[in-house]
Amino acid sequence: MTAKDVRHRVEELRKQINHHNYRYYVLDAPVIPDAEYDRLLRELQTLEQQHPELITPDSPTQRVGAEPLKKFGAVKHEVPMLSLANAFSEQEVLDFDRRVRERLETEEVEYSAEPKLDGLAVSLLYRDGVFAQGATRGDGVTGEDVTQNLRTIGAIPLRLYGAGYPALLEVRGEVYLSKAAFDELNAAARARDEKIFANPRNAAAGSLRQLDPKITARRPLAFFCYGVGAVERGRLPGEHGALLAQLRDWGLPVAHEQKVVRGVQGCLNYYRDMAVRRSRLEYDIDGVVYKVNRLDQQELLGFVSRAPRWAVAHKFPAQEEITEVLGIDVQVGRTGALTPVARLKPMFVGGVTVSNATLHNQDEIDRLDIRVGDSVIVRRAGDVIPKIVSVVRERRPYGAKPFHMPKHCPVCGADVVPVELEVMTRCSNELRCPAQSKGQILHFVSRRAMDIEGLGDKLVEQLVECKLVETPADLYTLTEEQLSGLERMGEKSAANVIAALEKSKTTALARFLYALGIREVGEATALALAQHFGDLDALMQADEVTLQQVPDVGPVVAAHIAAFFHQRHNREVIKRLRAAGITWPAVKIARRLPLAGKTFVLTGTLDTLMRDEAKEKLQALGAKVSGSVSSKTNYLVAGADPGSKFDQARELGVEILDETAMLKMLRT
């Protein structure tokens, strides 16, 4: 290549790379795979290494490379970087709009509505389209020179795209971390046992304010622009929305959610829409911003103190609040599982009042190192249940002690046992723990189970406490007199409960099975069991192998079901329930397959079929094909050179078939 060819190729590569950056960061519509992009960049790097005289500061290769700084220089903002006034309610937004309209003496104002990104504000100076300097907001008048760090951010163009930009253009926007990038960053920090960041904003700020740009370069920072500062020698559109569109055309990313709306109602609709979409956005927002769209109107409105009169930030309710742990309660569920729950000093967060939060188990308590008396940060995002994110260690009261899960059930005092393979613990007193009884009965009467109206939390608690009811079967022995004798129970409600119990006696097998509260048996599994076995007795007698023939019943669920029906106590309860008159219409069994319930084992080489083919044929007729011989095996199919399975089968007296016999069985 001649020197001229090299220069042309370098220019061509830069143009292509800038174009792909634009497609990727601004339009969010890349046209080439990453690998292809990397090849272009590497080719450019190689050419620049061979011809260093061709390197320019705006070359896409020049993002990292600057030496670490001793400290950041100061940058004076010629046009001050202001902040925004906040509105926390619709009323405050209505007031804002009224003031704007009064000053402008107009009926209706057009606004640019935008997400309020939760990152940190920066200013980017472009001279003749080349990124020259970047600064943080600082106190609004003087910020820090973070040019080298901003250069490492892929979304910030080192050279503007297209043409027609002013000779001097100062762009303003927000540097932020996407939620995914934040999670990744924290996961990596956790793996290295380093301090994790509290939220994406802190992480973005910490990343940008690194003296060594190489560290910043490793942080996946992003950028959105939302306005301009100083402009010299050049004209810009007269409306904010059009201005952002213009900036986008020059290669500066603008949030896709930005749009122009009419009047204050347009603003409020936008707010509601964003509140719903918020959790699905790739980045965190803490509200939305409304800006008067016409720039001449903005100018008329001007500023008060340090915020413009033409804009307002409409904030979402805070998703994180600080509060105190008043105590840690341990709840016992219907299966006896012990769950620690933090009782909190009530506070308003994410739009609701929160007064408790689950702590899940001892591991979670240890991970957070949470103690009674601690100040904690509670987060409630969207409709997600509130959770404690962290403890404010600085505020820990003197003498606060670590919390340990009890060794005895807080309700009945029985020993607590660990649950296999789980961090959970369980009350061992399955039959007599009032907390378990109560949970079980509440489940039994619930809408999707036996659907018995009128038996609420308080009533069930009373019934269990007075020992009137211990198991679901006891419900059907209750009398109107017993019920009306209870606190807060009138004769009318007592009669209603009795009627509801009576009505519940005619039910469906699936409902009844679900109501029994067998571990791991939800509604879907209950239905599958009912359809497979058709009646309760067959199900109660089924062993684990047979149970696993039911769709979606694996070894764990099968073991729970078998264990449940094996327990004398449970069989007794079922017997009493049936004696009380609980019935269901016969269930039509989903077509029974001829080999259903039969277990086959294959060994040796078959003459005509591959092992997998034979297996498929057997399974298609409902058989279960197992890998090893046991007392549950019905048939061993043996081909040539059978292995040890053959001997095992003979020992256990399992019927042995050759391939011909098996094929014959499949045919009949």
Minimum CB separation of residue 112 from ligand IVH in Å reads 9
**Contacts for 399 with CB less than 8 Å, ≥ 6 apart:** none
Closest CA to 547 of 510, 521, 577: 521
In Å, how far from its chain's centre is CA 275? 17
Binding to ligand IVH by residue 82, rule CB under 6 A?
yes
| Cβ-based nearer residue to ligand IVH, 155 or 638 | 155
Q: Choose one: 49-57, 76-84, 238-246, 596-604; the region binding ligand IVH (CB under 6 A).
A: 76-84
| Cβ-based nearer residue to ligand IVH, 204 or 638 | 204
Binding to ligand IVH by residue 289, rule CB under 6 A?
yes
Q: Contact with ligand IVH (CB under 6 A): which of 308, 333, 373, 622?
A: 308
Binding to ligand IVH by residue 290, rule CB under 6 A?
no
Q: Choose one: 80-88, 272-280, 434-442, 586-594; the region binding ligand IVH (CB under 6 A).
A: 80-88
Using DSSP's 3-state secondary structure scheme, residue 465 falls into helix
Q: Contact with ligand IVH (CB under 6 A): which of 93, 125, 156, 311?
A: 311
Are 435 and 332 contacting, i.e. CB atoms less than 8 angstroms apart? yes
Binding to ligand IVH by residue 100, rule CB under 6 A?
no
Strand partners, 656: 636
Six token digits for residue 273 = 């829409």
Euclidean distance between CA atoms 661 and 135, whole angstroms: 84
Binding to ligand IVH by residue 116, rule CB under 6 A?
yes
Instruction: Tell me phi and psi for residue 360, to 5 degrees.
Output: 65, -65
- Each residue 224-253 as x (binds ligand IVH by CB under 6 A) or -, in order, gives --xx--------------------------
Binding to ligand IVH by residue 146, rule CB under 6 A?
no
Q: What is the DSSP letter of 178?
A: B
Six token digits for residue 167 = 């000779």
Euclidean distance between CA atoms 124 and 351, whole angstroms: 36
Ordered alpha helix ranges (H), 209-337 = 213-218, 240-249, 263-277, 295-301
Between strands 352-358 and 635-638, the pairing is: unpaired
Minimum CB separation of residue 166 from ligand IVH in Å reads 19
E strand segments, 197-241: 221-232
Binding to ligand IVH by residue 121, rule CB under 6 A?
yes
Q: Choose one: 100-108, 111-119, 412-420, 634-642; the region binding ligand IVH (CB under 6 A).
A: 111-119
| Cβ-based nearer residue to ligand IVH, 272 or 650 | 272
Q: Choose one: 13-21, 33-41, 234-242, 306-314; the region binding ligand IVH (CB under 6 A).
A: 306-314
Q: Choose one: 40-48, 193-201, 305-313, 507-515; the region binding ligand IVH (CB under 6 A).
A: 305-313
Number of residues this chain uses to bind ligand IVH (CB under 6 A): 15
| Cβ-based nearer residue to ligand IVH, 254 or 365 | 254
From the candidates 71, 116, 179, 458, which is the catalytic residue?
A: 116
**Contacts for 152 with CB less than 8 Å, ≥ 6 apart:** 63, 64, 213, 216, 217, 221
Six token digits for residue 318 = 């805070």
In Å, how far from its chain's centre is CA 365? 21
116: annotated active-site residue: yes
| Cβ-based nearer residue to ligand IVH, 170 or 474 | 170
Binding to ligand IVH by residue 174, rule CB under 6 A?
yes
Using DSSP's 3-state secondary structure scheme, residue 343 falls into strand
Closest CA to 426 of 443, 440, 405: 405
Using DSSP's 3-state secondary structure scheme, residue 142 falls into strand
Binding site for ligand IVH (CB under 6 A): 82-84, 114, 116-117, 121, 137, 174, 226-227, 289, 308, 311, 313
Residues catalogued as catalytic: 116
